[in-house]
Amino acid sequence: MAESFESAIVRVHAGDGTVIGAGFLVTDRHILTCAHVVASALGLSEDTPALPQVELHLDFPLLTPNQVVTARVVHWRPDTDVAGLELTSEPPPEASAIRLVTGDDLWGHSFRAFGFPAGYEQGGWASGVLRGRQADGWLQIEDPKMTGYLIAPGFSGSPVWDDVLEGVVGMIVAADTSERVKAAFLIPADVLAQGWPERVRVYHRSPVSAPAADERPRVVQSGGVTIGNVSGGIHGSIIAGGDVTTAISPGKQPAAMSTEPSVGQARLITLRQILTQRFDDGGLRTLCFDLGVDYDSLPGQGKADKARELVAYFDRRRQIYRLIEVGTQQRPDIDWGENVEVTGGVPPKPSAELQKPEESIPGQSRFDDMLRQVTEFDLRLRRSMPKVTSGYAQAKDRDEIDRVLASIGEDCEAYNLWWTTGDEHGLAYPMRRLSDEIWLIDAWECKVDDLWVYRDTTLERQYVLVHLAARPPFGVHGQIPPDLEWEEAGYFDGQYVTRAEFDNGYAMIQGKIVELTGAELRIRNLRDDFFILAPQLSVYVYAIPETERQIRAVHQSLIEAGQVSRHALKPLEYLKREWY
């Protein structure tokens, strides 16, 4: 996802065009940066208490340099040096928000950042390692290299990409200018979320393989309205404006991650040695190009560093097989297969008819899981809509909507039915009818106004699309921001409690403190939304990054139209997947 990191970075200009610092997209139209960057750009004092009223000039230097867009300040916290901006003109079409993440222990993780040190208004990359938090909550980062850009004032507001967790872990806020010290400090992602919970979502991740369906991670946060979705991560949960304490909600698994075992460390070392010893710099650059990896963005300076990071890049994604496959095409003189015994991460090659591959093909277990899931899903679609054999079909009335949902929802955990919007996804279990109009899907209380089924001869391409009508707030959190997209609360013994009470496990009910044993997390969409329902190993959930972007684009078009049409869904018919 490093490509989305680059497409989120903005450059902040003063009125005379001087580059002041950086920022980054956290939603389609909202940007985080440092308050002192905004103050400097506008010629204000850094401790100005009032919300600045003058628009800022920005551009996206790695997408459309010098194409100026404007933004206004909508969140102002000079005491914590954080500012939030809202675009008042259109960003480049390629611009995209970046995911913020946090983890239990970031020490030693490699990072990269793009900033604008003095004299380098076109920007430069810095890299190094993450350290620990300081007493003030800031996170220390260091650059142990002898060469490369130092983190300097022009990096203020820059997002910091963690190569291990594959997300932004914070925003650069200050640098140590002492001689012979190459350290700087960032505001961690969870602190940014606590300061601007309406716009900033943070996902908790751990660098391990994704959890099984019966090991769904859970989240908790305390205080106020929780403005975030229930999410997993590599192992993960979402934090938005609160503290992570324990597990309570079903999670999501990032689509690009595989649950296959990693290649053994000795074999990774062998691969690194092959790349270092048998490839010259030009050959390694060509290999990266063919793999779709930006050579210059890999951490490190020399060929040995780049080779190591390239192997690590594909191992983290459980895609070592791709490195070997492309490497073999480039250098058939190297005995890749004998030197590198791949024990995981190699996909099968199913045909469109889902013919079972030979037993010798690695990844057999994953293929069998996919075949089981999509076959079970197909059975439920045929049973609920027996007159439909291919193409699109819209449920004709409420009875048919309920029949399809009941069919696919029955024991849906057994075949890993998931919901997705391309951007976010989660296990659809539990899935049951709550009332005449309301269905529970995961923790979502859904008023399904419309339902479409897509049937295809390639079973892994079938899905159900549901149109969720906007729901009213739960009524337990007081005043709700008008632009809030969804809200969370607890559900206990027939009534709702605040998310904070749910997190704490106790609530004041009818004048008494009650322990919330057996309480459930509930979520309501406060605007119209659309979910794709499909098995986890289908094209739609178990997706490559390009596919995720395409699904997000379809989802956004549905949101804008407010209704479903065959034309809007057409791009989903051509989605690629990791195995092809």
Given this model, what pLDDT does residue 255 score?
A: 29
Give just the sign of the alpha carbon dihedral 482, 449, 571, 567. Answer: negative
pLDDT in tens, 348-380: 333 344 444 444 444 456 778 888 899 999 999
Give the integer Cα–Cα distance in Å for 474 and 496.
7
Q: What does the chain come to in residues? A: 580
Classify strands 100-102 and 202-204 as parallel, antiparallel or unpaired: parallel
Dihedral pair phi/psi, residue 487, rounded to 5°: -140, 145
Global pTM exceeds 0.75:
no
Give the integer Cα–Cα distance in Å for 379 and 384.
9
Helix (DSSP H) and strand (DSSP E) numbers for the chain? 13, 28
Given this model, what pLDDT does residue 396 score?
A: 92
Neighbouring C-beta atoms of residue 389, cutoff 10 Å: 10
Given this model, what pLDDT does residue 161 score?
A: 92
Give the integer Cα–Cα distance in Å for 256 and 209.
11
Low-confidence residues of the chain: pLDDT under 50: 1-2, 208-263, 338-363, 579-580
SS (H, E, C) 429-479: CCEEECCCCEEEECCEEEEEEEEEEEECCCHHHCEEEEEECCCCCCCCCCC
Give the integer Cα–Cα distance in Å for 569 and 551.
9
Dihedral pair phi/psi, residue 149, rounded to 5°: -70, 140
Q: Which residues share a beta bridge with 113?
A: 126
Nearest-CA neighbor of 4 among 109, 100, 128, 75?
100
Nearest-CA neighbor of 102 among 242, 237, 205, 228?
205
Neighbouring C-beta atoms of residue 508, cutoff 10 Å: 11
Given this model, what pLDDT does residue 4 score?
A: 67
Neighbouring C-beta atoms of residue 208, cutoff 10 Å: 9
The amino acid at residue 430 is P
Residue indicated by tokens 């459980």: 318
Give the integer Cα–Cα distance in Å for 555 and 420.
10
Given this model, what pLDDT does residue 150 score?
A: 67
Q: Is 24 left (phi over 0), alpha (psi -120 to 50) or beta?
A: beta
